[in-house]
Amino acid sequence: MINAKTRLYGLIGKPVEHSLSPVIHNALFKRYNINAVYLAFDVDDLESAVKGVKALGISGLNVTMPYKEQILEFLDELSEEARAIGSVNTVVNREGKLIGYNTDGIGALKALKRFTEVEGKRVLLLGAGGAGKAIAYTLSRLAKVVVLNRTERKAKELEKFGVKGGKLSKENLKRYLSWADIVINATSLGMNEDRSPIPKGLLRENLVVFDIVYSPLETNLLREAREVGCLTIDGLWMLIHQGAESFRLWTGVKPDVEFMRREALKGEKRSI
């Protein structure tokens, strides 16, 4: 029951109306008997929104596109990972001090580890935005990583993590897909659209294909990869694992990820 002691958490971004995060986190609050609610906020003015978090005593946030990088300047403190990556997807309000974290990298790593070995593998990562940076930072400690991005400069900037950066072109796709053990789509291409960042003819049977897009659950890339015989990993696994880490940071509770996925799938069916 909502009362004067109920804590408020939320998601800020634009757009947010299709997010499954409220479904997942509200189910977790109920499961663990935590007096809290989670709402999604479609934000136009980020600075005002962050000031509102402090003014209203909102306990924590998830941050999504397009604010993962912009929010850094409005926070009081950053975790080591968030500072290195330059991107925040989780905020904890500790007695009025807003602390930024990034759980995208660990979310992607845990999603991958459910299905395949990562250490020592060759990883081709497409996209150098907020999520791509976090994944590159995290995986660079375990694997050999090449990052391709439409704007080559952004991919090259990630070489500070010990990865190799290059331009996302057909030539480079062909070159590095033949080299890679794992390919990760960290771009938004394929989100609610029937397009893929990789031509089907470049995919091969022994490749692991991970798409961080989770709407639709099976993107065009994953469908074509499955048809070729690749091992495929959908983006909902990353959403679940990064959300689990956010929940732990907010509450101190390590949640059941299998339960989270079941609730997310129920929410997806209700939204169709």
Annotated binding site for shikimate: 19-21, 64, 89, 104, 214, 242
Where are the alpha helices (H) located in the chain, listed in sequence order?
21-31, 46-56, 80-85, 104-113, 130-139, 152-157, 170-177, 220-228, 236-251, 257-271
Q: Which of 68, 110, 121, 266 is catalytic?
A: 68
Where are the alpha helices (H) located in 119-205, listed in sequence order?
130-139, 152-157, 170-177
63's enclosing H/E stretch is strand 60-63
Task: List residues forming the annotated binding site.
Answer: 19-21, 64, 80, 89, 104, 127-131, 149-154, 212, 214, 235, 242
Task: List residues forming the annotated binding site for NADP(+).
Answer: 80, 127-131, 149-154, 212, 235
Active site annotation includes 68: yes
Give the list of residues 6+ apart from residue 79 with CB closer than 8 angstroms, or none. 99, 100, 101, 102
Give the list of residues 6+ apart from residue 172 with CB closer than 8 angstroms, or none. 148, 166
**Residue 182 token pair:** 């794992």
**Other C-beta atoms within 10 Å of 206: how many?**
9
Residues with catalytic roles: 68
